[in-house]
Structure 1
Amino acid sequence: MPKGSDLLVAALENEGVDRIFGIPGEENLDVVESLRTSKIELVLTRHEQAAAFMAATHGRLTGRPGVCLSTLGPGALNFSTGAAYAHLGAMPMIIITGQKGILSSRQAKFQIVDVISSMKPITKMARQIVSASSIPTIVRDAFRVATEERPGPVLLELPEDIASEEAEAHLVPPHPIDIPVAHPKAIERAAQMILAAKRPLIMLGAAASRPRATGELGGFVHRTQIPFFTTQMGKGTVAGGTNLYMGTAALSERDYVHEAIDRADLIIAIGHDTIEKPPFFMGQKDQKVVHIGYMPANVEEVYYPDAEVVGDLGPTLKLLADELEGKLPNAGALLSLREHILSHISDRATEDRFPVTPQRLVHDVRQVIPEDGIVCLDNGMYKIWFARNYRTYVANTLLLDNALATMGAGLPSAMMAAMLYPNRRVMAVCGDGGFMMNSQEMETAVRLGLNLVVLVLDDSAYGMIRWKQAVDQFKDYGMTFRNPDFVKYAESYGATGHRIESVGDLVPTLDKAFNAGGVHLVAVPVDYSENTRVLVEELRAKVKPFEQASERRPAESSSPESVVAPEGI
């Protein structure tokens, strides 16, 4: 008769799971034994946090939940950042944790933490399994909850005595669940607002990057011919090479793309999730917003749409385009701003200064990454530059986190991408601070035989916070550190290390690393002085074309004090 762990693994196989990421403990030994004889690969990581980031990225890229495994107490709690990462970022994931036996307590309260209660606020569902025979139905429900809108993490706690308990139970076959299409009246209402607009503009947000959604988005933009911009997590949902692309809102206001945003009389927000840092602030006179999404809009101080179209994005947008195609004489009214906006974004992109500037860094990375190549960012100042300057052509080819915005996720995220797409170029871009938070996973990457390039930006500081400290006129304190010799550090894990000594070395070194295969670390010194010159001084001094005092928000000011360093990046 099968035991609980056998039923768990069989149920996971039934859901199509082929890998589980994590670090087992003694409370998981029955599960490990059941995995040993299954079709599922146990991918051992060096920290539970990395396993959670990998599982979340699996969900983000495939739409199918990734699975991670830990023991009880300290191991389970190490999943908390990854759970929050998936919860805020809407990434489907299944977390399986162990626990001491619940039918007896031979070890009293040793290592026992109430993991269920601690994880409830950062998961969609958290429950303890108390009967082996219930495992197949609980697993099926967990995958359903993790996948349905809004996607996210689900925690299952399996006590060791339930894992070893013998029981009979039938597997529950999964079945597709179709999302309803928006109500015809909602589509008609939105169509009338768009037809009446004089300067419409599309915004593509985080939910537009769901794997099932991206196909119809390009068709909607093409059929309406309305220009578009993206949020940071919406990049790539429609090809940035199209002549309708206006830029990415890497900041909340006053960047060049906001010249179009501020001028628009109607913003069609597709897939916007207010968990992202605001791409713009509502409140301009006569500007309307139509929210189109899988879920109703969250009403916030900075986002309160005038109309909502709620339903499956693909078919809903097709029906809306049917109402609009060929009927929008004002569709391209804002396109006259496009060249002005994009020319500023590409300014100084080939400057030969060394250490490398962020603009040159983004430019050179784009040169070596094919259209379907994947760049995974950790969190730091460079994220703003990649969001502004890196042009994407395929959905989910620039993975960044603008929801939890945690450090430490860049390398594990890239490892997952490299496992899923072994024939595509994959690069992790990390600051030295974020890289060192999970740098031990270099061993995991080498052990797995991945093809991966890790670009480490070396400024020996928590650079973004240090810059914000300076802009806010605080003393320089508490943000600097010493780094290891990154070349030797990479080599100690069996990877290949490189250090860039001149700006002209970057592209050849990256190309050489990709062509050689295997895991490579490329350390490059970075000059962040451009943060102040561009993101503070230049944006402070610029004058918005077509801006009129009557169209500005009452609280808006063009004084120098109104332009400050970006927050929450």
Structure 2
Amino acid sequence: MPTTVEVLADAIKASGTDFIVGHPGGESVELMEAARERGMRFMLMKQEVAGAMLAATWGDITGAPGVCLSTRGPGAANMVNGVAHAALDRSPLIAITDRYSAPEQAVGLRQRIDHIAMYEPLVKWGTTVDARVVRQQIARAMRTAIAPAPGPVQFDMPQSETTKEAGQMQVEPSIMPDTLYPDPDRARLRKVVSAIDAARKPVLLVGLGTFWDNASDEMVKLAETLGAPVLTTSKCKGAIPEDHPLRAGCIIGGLIERKLISEADLIITIGLDAVELQPKPWPYTTRVISLANTPSLDGLVPAEFEVVGNLKSLLAALSDQCSGGSSWGEKSAATFRTDVINALNTPAKGLSPQRAMEVARATLPRETIATCDAGASRLLVVQKWQSYAPREFLTSNGLGSMGYAIPGALAARIAHPDRPVVAFTGDGGFMMAVAELQTAAREKLPITIVVFDDSEIALIRVKQELKGIDRYGVGIGGIDWESLARAFDADAAVVETENALQDALANARHTERTTLIAAKIDGSGYVDQFNALREL
């Protein structure tokens, strides 16, 4: 009969995830061995937080929960930030933490932390693995992790349970059930259809729920039916191809999008999760219709109608039932895009971050997948990089954690081994994940990393300047990028001009090695850009 870890490994593989990542402890080795016997991959990460971010991003891209693990005590504590990312960025994840067996846990002190209590505020469900019911536990974990809104589940795995014979069930639960959604009732949609048809200038605000139901195509069709401009959250870049004439840009919770949204006579939010928005009161008095796959519990968006259901079915039904809209969408979207470009075109001495992004998008292939770190440069990456399909732009937005871009890029490379992957990060965010360069080399996951080297934590410097505080405590600088890359068996280029950046990116396309490109930028325009786009 199979053991506990064999049941877990079988379930993980059956879900569509054929690897586990993390930094293991003594209690993890039996699970690793069970995975190896099933042809699964184990990737040793250098930091537990990076492992959790990688696994969470795999969950974003594929819909199957990523799986990460850590040793007890310090490993479990270090993994918290990665699990927090999965929680606030709505990523399906199963996080496994080693634990002493029950007698040692009851009386021991060394490396003993109450993992369940520590993770409880962050996870959708946490439990201690028990061989007698492990089949039911893993089935519940899979369903909980992927159910809207997706998120993390935590397993505490005592040493005593790993090789015990797993309990039997008369009927074993399905790991990833095939869920069917009936078509919406046309009569019950009549009020919503009437409200939409009455609008002359509707605007769509699109959030993560659109991805959870694989409803991007249906969202675009509704936008085309209504002639409505589309604003997405930063996590939803690519939900509408960003060269589509109705694509306006990204919601960043700032001043610049208020002109467009305030001109609308109806706001239709689609799968919008409040965690994607800035923590500010809703600034619009315009009528709102919410289309969502989970009810809103926070009350942030004051919707007159809230229609809850599978978005793929719901949006298709609305496209069929709504009459054609006005032609205001393309013009208003184009005006918004121009306003953003003008706001970002600040003067610079040397290579500006905005021009660096324009060069990168012009040089890299259309099918490139991009990841983006938190920091001052994120504002520019979000606005300047264009994505053309769902989940081709990956970032930490709900948590907004630095150190995301590199593990996120590794996940993208695993999911799409034949497509180019680029990670955009500041020098501060890069240093938080620098050890994973070794993971990229060892696991043969070549990625291109573009580091915006401004020798500082620029976002904090911007806030200091806006508050009239002298620059202090934010300097980095002095990094020998080429030597650093060489130490991790990666290629490197240090660039200071647009032409040099273009050449470095082009060269990186033709190698199967990780390439680190340090772009020496002038970030002096950040303050004006933030003032133009968003209140701080």
TM-score for the superposition, normalised by structure 2: 0.94
Matched, 1:93 2:93: yes
- Indicate which of 233, 243, 248 corresponds to 1:241: 243
Q: 1:291–1:309: 8 Å Cα contact kept in structure 2?
A: yes
In structure 2, the CA distance between the partners of 1:511 and 1:566, relative to structure 1 (3 Å rule), is: farther
Give the aligned partner of residue 271 of structure 1. 271
Residue deviations 1:198-224, cap 9 Å, x none? 321111112223372223222222233
Which residue number corresponds to residue 321 of structure 1?
Answer: 319
Deviation at 1:27, TM superposition (A): 1.9
Q: Distance in 1 between matches of 2:258 and 2:521?
A: 27
Give, in whole Å, the separation in 1 of the partners of 2:99 and 2:79: 14
Does residue 10 of structure 1 match 2:5?
no
* 1:544 alignment partner in structure 2: none
Q: Note if contact 1:181-1:310 (Cα within 8 Å) is conserved in structure 2.
A: no
CA distance in 2, matches of 1:179, 1:481: 53
Is the Cα–Cα contact under 8 Å of residues 348 and 359 in structure 1 kept in the other structure?
Answer: no
Contact 1:374–1:426, Cα closer than 8 Å, also in 2: yes
Question: Which position in structure 2 is the counterpart of 1:38?
Answer: 38
The answer for the alignment partner of 2:421 in structure 1 is: 426
3-state secondary structure, aligned to 2:275: coil
> Which amino acid in the other structure matches residue 90 of structure 1?
R
Q: Equivalents in 1 of 2:453, 2:401: separation in Å?
A: 19
Within a 5 Å distance, the mapping from 1:16-35 to structure 2 comes to 16-35=16-35
Tell me, yes or no, if the aligned pair for 1:253 and 1:281 is still in contact at 8 Å.
no
Work out whether 1:173 is the aligned partner of 2:168.
Answer: no
Shift of 1:145: 0.6
Distance (whole Å) between structure 2 residues aligned to residue 478 and residue 457 of structure 1: 19
Query: Contact 1:46–1:444 at 8 Å: present in 2 too?
Result: yes
Q: CA deviation at 1:167?
A: 4.0
| Matches of 2:390 and 2:16, distance apart in 1 | 23
Change beyond 3 A, Cα 1:338–1:4: closer
Deviation per CA, 1:204-245: give whole Å up to 9, x if none.
112223372223222222233222121212211011211112
Give matches, 1:157-556, under 5 Å: 157-169=156-168, 172-174=173-175, 175-179=177-181, 184=186, 187-210=189-212, 212-250=214-252, 252-255=253-256, 257-278=257-278, 282-285=282-285, 287-300=286-299, 302-326=300-324, 328=325, 331-347=326-342, 355-536=350-531, 538=532
The 1:2/1:336 distance shift into structure 2, 3 A limit, reads closer
The Cα of 1:349 is off from its aligned counterpart by 8.0
Tell me whether 33-42 or 432-441 shows the greater mean CA deviation.
Answer: 33-42
CA distance in 2, matches of 1:133, 1:147: 24
How far apart are the structure 1 equivalents of 2:83 and 2:279?
24
Cα shift readout 1:302-349 (whole Å, capped 9, x = no counterpart): 5221111111111100111111143x3xx3235443333222333498
Provide the rounded CA distance (Å) in 2 between the counterparts of 1:3 and 1:230.
Answer: 46
| 1:183 shift after superposition | 5.5
Q: In structure 2, what is the Cα distance between the partners aligned to 1:519 and 1:208? A: 33
Aligned-pair CA distance for 1:36: 3.0
Distance 1:323 1:2 in 2: 53
1:182-204 alpha-carbon deviations (Å, 9 max, x no partner): 56465322211111113211111
Displacement of 1:87: 0.9
Q: Which amino acid aligns with 1:204?
A: V
Distance 2:448 2:497 in 1: 19
Partner of 1:143: 142
After TM superposition, give the deviation of residue 33 of structure 1 in Å: 2.7
Contact 2:218–2:316 at 8 Å: present in 1 too? yes
Looking at structure 2, the residues matched to 348 and 226 of structure 1 have their Cα atoms a distance apart, in angstroms, of 23
> Would the aligned equivalents of 1:431 and 1:456 in 2 still touch at CA under 8 Å?
yes
Deviation at 1:168, TM superposition (A): 4.8
Change (3 A) 1:232 1:515: same
Does the CA contact (< 8 Å) of 2:413 and 2:421 recur in 1?
A: yes
Q: Is the 8 A contact 1:206 1:272 kept in 2?
A: yes
Q: Secondary structure at the match of 1:240?
A: coil
Length, aligned pairs only: 533
Listed as ranges, the gaps of 5+ residues in structure 1 are 540-564
| Code of the aligned partner of 1:34 | A
1:144: how far off?
0.6
Which one-letter code corresponds to 2:290 in the other structure? Answer: H
* Structure 2 letter corresponding to 1:306: E
The separation in 2 between residues aligned to 1:398 and 1:181, in whole angstroms, is 31
Partner of 1:558: none
SS at match of 1:118: helix
**Percent identity of equivalent pairs:** 28
CA–CA distance in 2 between the matches of 1:522 and 1:350? Answer: 23
CA contact (8 A) 1:65 1:93 kept: yes
Q: Deviation at 1:459?
A: 1.1
| Contact 1:27–1:99, Cα closer than 8 Å, also in 2 | yes
Maintained 8 Å contact 1:206/1:234: yes
| Equivalent in the alignment of 1:559 | none
Q: Which amino acid aligns with 2:157?
A: L
Residue 545 of structure 1 is matched in structure 2 by none
Q: Which stretch shifts more, 34-43 or 204-213?
A: 204-213
312-321 vs 36-45, which deviates more?
A: 36-45
Q: Give a deviation string over 1:136-166, Cα, whole Å, max 9, x none.
A: 2111110011011111110111100111323
Assess if the C-alpha contact under 8 Å between 2:343 and 2:529 holds in 1. Answer: no
Residues 279 and 220 of structure 1: is their aligned pair in 2 closer, same or farther, counting only changes over 3 Å? farther
514 and 281 in structure 1: CA distance in 2 versus 1, 3 angstrom threshold: farther
Q: Label 1:32 to 1:338 Cα distance change in 2 as closer, same or farther (>3 A).
A: closer
SS at match of 1:134: helix
Alpha carbons 2:230, 2:333 under 8 Å: kept: no
Measured in 2, the distance between the counterparts of 1:412 and 1:192 equals 46
Mapped to 1, the partners of 2:463 and 2:393 lie a distance apart of 25
Q: 366-375 vs 154-163, which deviates more?
A: 366-375
Given the two structures, how large is their TM-score scaled by the length of structure 1? 0.89
* Distance (Å, rounded) in 1 between the aligned partners of 2:287 and 2:343: 35
Gaps in structure 2 of 5+ consecutive residues: none
Tell me how far apart the structure 2 counterparts of residues 312 and 106 of structure 1 sit (CA, whole Å).
46
Larger displacement relative to structure 2 (113-122 or 341-350): 341-350
The match for 1:76 is: 76
